[in-house]
Structure 1
Amino acid sequence: MPTNIEDLELDEPPNVEPYEVLAVEKTATQDQIKTAYRKAALKWHPGAHLAKPEDKDAAHTKFQEVALAYAVLGDPRRRTRYDNTGRTDDSLDIDDDIFNWGDFYRAQFANAVTEATISSFTTDYKGSEEERDALLQAYTKYKGDMDKIYQQVMVSNPAVDEDRFRGILNEAIEKEEITPQRNKARSEDFLDNLAEKYGATASSKKKGKKRAQSPEEPPEEAFEKTAKRKTKKSKA
């Protein structure tokens, strides 16, 4: 999958439902549309995509859909045309403004994911309810597999977010928002993988193993408390 602008090969603009692609209501303001686009672009841009290499082709396809949705909804005139016709292909060329899909896409590809946009998004996203919801959903979906969870939760970094994520997950288990997952991978394996990825030394790995368990394996107290609550409910 090419991640350089010069290597891009584009087909015709994809046929999409712009509001669905950007996950916004038809009443969304232009500022809300811009914010939704930046979020979607950061998630699906092939150059920033956190999934496995083989998933980058899918990311490229998705990013084209995101770019096309923004081309329509990001311009008030094109948006009005689309709202009236329901067709993206009829909404791109407006009056004397001839839309060039290749030029537009290359511009979005080059500028959608910059240091400034990533920094701004990271500041707003980390610690938000949206991030928390994504973490809890990923934890349940991937049964506590933290490698997959970090791939799913945007702009997450195990070297930075491990303790914070563990706290969020344990709190959610206490509130019975999620069910504790007994992942087969031990916390030592998680820390070893973490050290390998981020170049930690052997001594730091040993030190890390003495820490509390990772979110892959919530504390036994969480399991016991959950079990006791379920027992009480069944007796009630």
Structure 2
Amino acid sequence: MDRRYGLTDMALAKADGYHLGARDPRTHPAKMPAIPTGTELKVLVGPERAAPAHTPLPPSSAELSVHGKRVPSLGCAGVANSELMGAKSPGGSAGDVPGNSDLVQDLNGKSFRVSMKDARVRAAFRTWSACMSEAGYRYADTMTVMADHRFQGKTSTPLEVRVATADVACKKRTNLVGVWFGVETAYQKDLIRKNESALAGVLKSKNAQLSVAAAANSAHSGNPAHSADPARSADPARAAR
């Protein structure tokens, strides 16, 4: 995880404080793709899901064809999701989300939260905090310094850069990251051991999803007729044009 233990790169600290440079959404907001509407939306999610909430649909509306191809009731996205998570993926369910695993995310968050409360990490925080105090800055831990309201503007400030460079220097001086990483790694290994069977199932499901996706990509790669088929297209919005 990016900056899991706070800012650790001195060059980045000197250049932009706690900001993310060209990656910072405050100064370089991501361009949102156009939201499909009308027929494009129906092709993507199916006629029923594309209808406004609480709008009853006449029976004929459940059937939709584009370029002579019938659009499945779940739409192209629904079919793709079902193929990835349903019968073609052992242990999968059509209601699941491709690529998602709550267990893995939960364990990832748990190891981080538990490690922050560990006595060894708390002691390292105190040593780091004392180092920061010597530099003229008072913070309890690395999370509070990054959350300082003075450093949340669109661009970094001279004060932010000074604090960030002191932060990184103190991390190195006190070996905070080394201690924290070692402690959390031990917790992670213990969680993996306790959840080995469940994680093996997650890995099996993920590999099955990747296999189905690779087969679909391989089958349709370089096939010009594929883009005209809304029931199978990798880009269903184009099929409606």
TM-score, scaled relative to structure 2: 0.24
Q: Which has the higher contact order (CA 8 A, sep 6+)?
A: 2
Greater Cα radius of gyration, structure 1 or 2: 2
